[in-house]
Amino acid sequence: MAAPERGGFITLEGGEGAGKSTQAALLVSRLLACGTDVVATREPGGSPRAEAIRAALLAGAVAPLGPIAETLMFSAARLDHVDTKIRPALERGAFVVCDRFIDSTRVYQGELGHTDPTLIASLERVVVGDLKPDLTLLLDVAPATGLARALARRGTDAVADRFEREGEGFHERLRTAFLAVAAREPERCRVIDGNQGSDAVTEAIWAAVLSRFPRLQLHEPKSGTGDR
């Protein structure tokens, strides 16, 4: 029997509060409506062992060990996530929609954390190998908008995570670095204006997905059926 066609690997990237989780969930619903097998996941985390590492990273427990240790921990989480969840899903022909992936490491630990880019590239080769995303959607928002959204969602009583605690200058640099990463790989990355209302962002994302995976058009429910 022929092996199933490899599914599509889609990642969403961007700064804090850019709308990644919101749009990832909407994209998953839309892919499901096309009758596709879809796995929704996120980083850091996505598998039980990687989720345990996520808790330590976002609580800031690893930061005192320094930027290299932090980079290694993100990579350790990714290794388990790729091996136990992403690769098996793609091999069975599913779509994988992942909230953050390699570009977050390149930007947060590399560009902003000053971890040597050759170390980041080596880790990427070992951990991810040829499993690069087919499509990366970069949600680009003004840092103040993203931070205000993240704060509104969290509520004022909850504790900000390690990265939300950084100042606005950090988030400006984050935005610039994500845009630079996308510019270096234009065939993989699509920049989506995340400052727009949620519906407009959803439509821009779907247009990018259809352009990368035209076969989905054949399975798309007719508009107006409310079937999304």
Query: Which residues contribute to the site for ligand T5A (CB under 6 A)?
Result: 14, 16-22, 43-44, 58, 74, 100, 104-105, 108-109, 149-150, 152-153, 161, 163, 197-198, 201
Closer to ligand T5A by CB, 33 or 58: give it.
58
Closer to ligand T5A by CB, 72 or 93: give it.
72
CB of 17 to ligand T5A, least distance (A): 4
Query: How many Cα atoms are found within 13 Å in the side-chain-facing hemisphere of 113?
Result: 23
CB of 35 to ligand T5A, least distance (A): 26
Closer to ligand T5A by CB, 93 or 196: give it.
196
Give the 3-state secondary structure of residue 50. Answer: helix
Partners of 111 in the beta sheet?
Answer: none
Closer to ligand T5A by CB, 124 or 220: give it.
124
Contact at 8 Å (CB) between 168 and 144? yes
- How does DSSP assign 129-181, residue by residue? TT---SEEEEEE--HHHHHHHHHHHH-SSSPP-TTTTS-HHHHHHHHHHHHHH
CB of 181 to ligand T5A, least distance (A): 12
